[in-house]
Amino acid sequence: MKTLNSGWVVFSILPVLLLISASPKPSSNFQADNPGPPDEAVKLVFIHHSTGENWLMDDYGDLGKTLDQNNYFVSDTNYGWGPDAIGDRTDIPNWTEWFASDNTPTYMDALFNENEQHASYTRSLSDPGGENQIIVFKSCFPNSALEGNPNDSPDTEGWLSVGHAKYVYNEILQYFGARPDKLFVVVTAPPLSDPTYADNARAFNEWLVNDWLRENNYAGNNVAVFDFYNVLTDPNAHHRVNNGQIGHIIGTRNTLYYPSGDDHPSEQGSRKATEEFVPVLNVFYHRWKEGQPAEASVPSAETQAPIAPLPPVTLGLLDDFEGGIPAGTAGWEAFQDEAANTSLSCAPSAQTAHEGVHSLQLDFDVAANSWATCALMFEQVQDWSAADGLAFYLRSADAGLVFDVNIYAGSMTASETYLRTIETSNTTSEVWVQFILRWEEFHRADWEENAGEAFAKPNQIAGMAFGFSTYSDTPNTGTVWVDELSLSGEAETSSAEQPSAPKEPEQSRQPLLPCGGAIFLPFLLVALPLLKKHAGGGVK
């Protein structure tokens, strides 16, 4: 069997296990969060450098324009700004100079009275007068290269290290407590593409979001954290308002998912951050003005919490595509390489079906050396150990179409990708054929650790997908239909009405690997972040 081009690797970044906790009933005196804009113009100043400038810019991150539309009169600082050019210094260790030094009164007087723009963004509101009420500040991506260890305690030494970063934020909290008339919003530093210190960056930002104020017994309501870092690590990682509460969801990655050619976040990542940040800021503002804790609320329905796997799922149907979405999922979603002229439609169709009226129709037009995939991800880890494999009926428009069936397994922080390759035949182009794929036929993706290892974790299922890539320099275009996707057991046999899938050569049961896989790695590392959900492509 031929091997496909390296575009297959992008499928690996899809598996994101979102562990969602049940939300307890709020107490009777709880006030629902308000993600709406302030009733009147509020003055805000943003301390930043280049990433923040891009984020603010019209036609890039659109943050300035979006804040303006939400009734914030925005000013900002940048390189060279302020007394002693303090604007030059925005690394984490520099925050003590801003907020906990002998010069703090001078710097804050200038900051509170700053009315100018130092980036290009729409500002249509008139200056409402008075001082800036909201101070938003962030460090740039080099600050995600924190040395030390994830659980290090606060340390007066260390410069860019986990321990010293904790020390810095503990120190500046004292000033924030003395200024309850101002709302201070920490924006975490964006992630790096380099994974060397990624675990440290994740641990520190989790500490900021979850533990910083609590460990300091901070009683004020004028300090809040937005996890810019998390939002940029994964399409399914969020810090956003959902169902009236702020939710914080972590994906499987700790590195930058949205590069722009370097570690500055791309337009796509910046706009995702804008979409999530502004409603969260509105909530922070209303909590502060109404005397509620800026970071305290009833636990969000989106807040992650360790949850045990569900009880084993019994054998039987997973999806017959006759209506609705499978329980515990967001439905089938199409993803594609938007850097190429590639398209994928992934939706129920009445054109043909093995049983009932509908099947899942996958129309794919994958440009040479590109990719597309249709995934179903679960909200909780699934236990499929009662089954010995997957079964489904397949029909194709043509013979010779090649695609992968992917299984994603593992935990919230360590998912794994397993593949089984299928090639359509003359039989599948004429009639429906049942395929029964045993767990041992799936093998670990070549780009991951323990490549080629047989799948042995049916009790840790995060999701599955149908993936399409290409032969080298050759497009891959066609249509396949899938019906009656189910978990199979020993008692299950091929359909008596339709021929069973012909046995493929043994080597076809290995994952499709590119020639010279190691040579392609630099390309793959660049290609990975290009994955973007195709608008309207999902089954909703």
The CATH number of residue 369's host domain is: 2.60.120.430
Q: Give pLDDT, residue 32.
A: 60
Q: Is residue 267 situated within a structural domain?
A: yes
Q: Is residue 500 situated within a structural domain?
A: yes
Same domain, 350 and 405: yes
- Please give the Cα distance from 166 to 156 (Å, whole number): 9
CA 212 vs CA 95, 181, 186, 485: distances in Å: 15, 21, 11, 46
* Residue 349 contacts residue 358 (beta carbons within 8 Å): yes
Q: Is residue 230 situated within a structural domain?
A: yes
β-partners of residue 389 are 438, 488
Q: Give pLDDT, residue 198.
A: 96
Same domain, 373 and 238: no
Same domain, 278 and 326: no
Domain boundary (261, 289, 317) is at 289
Give 79's Cβ-side CA count (13 Å radius). Answer: 5
- Please give the Cα distance from 380 to 17 (Å, whole number): 7
How many independent structural domains does the chain possess? 2
Q: Is residue 33 situated within a structural domain?
A: no
Q: Give pLDDT, residue 472.
A: 78
Q: Is residue 433 situated within a structural domain?
A: yes
Same domain, 240 and 360: no
Q: Give pLDDT, residue 368.
A: 87
Q: Give pLDDT, residue 335.
A: 85
Q: Give pLDDT, residue 69.
A: 97
Domain holding 65: CATH number? 3.40.50.1110
Same domain, 510 and 387: yes
Same domain, 340 and 417: yes
What stretches in the chain show pLDDT beneath 70?
1-32, 292-314, 411-414, 490-540
Which amino acid does the sequence have at 91?
D
Same domain, 270 and 372: no
Same domain, 396 and 444: yes
Angle separating helix axes 198-210 and 162-178, nearest 10 degrees:
20
Within 416-535, residue ranges assigned H as helices are 517-527
Q: Give pLDDT, residue 512.
A: 30
Comparing CA positions, the residue from 147, 165, 148 lying closest to residue 156 is 165
The predicted model scores a pTM of: 0.55
* Residue 495 contacts residue 434 (beta carbons within 8 Å): yes
- Please give the Cα distance from 55 to 460 (Å, whole number): 38
Q: Give pLDDT, residue 229.
A: 97
Q: Is residue 132 situated within a structural domain?
A: yes
Same domain, 234 and 334: no
Give the 3-state secondary structure of residue 182: coil
Q: Is residue 345 situated within a structural domain?
A: yes
Q: Name the residue range of residue 227's domain.
A: 42-289
Same domain, 237 and 338: no
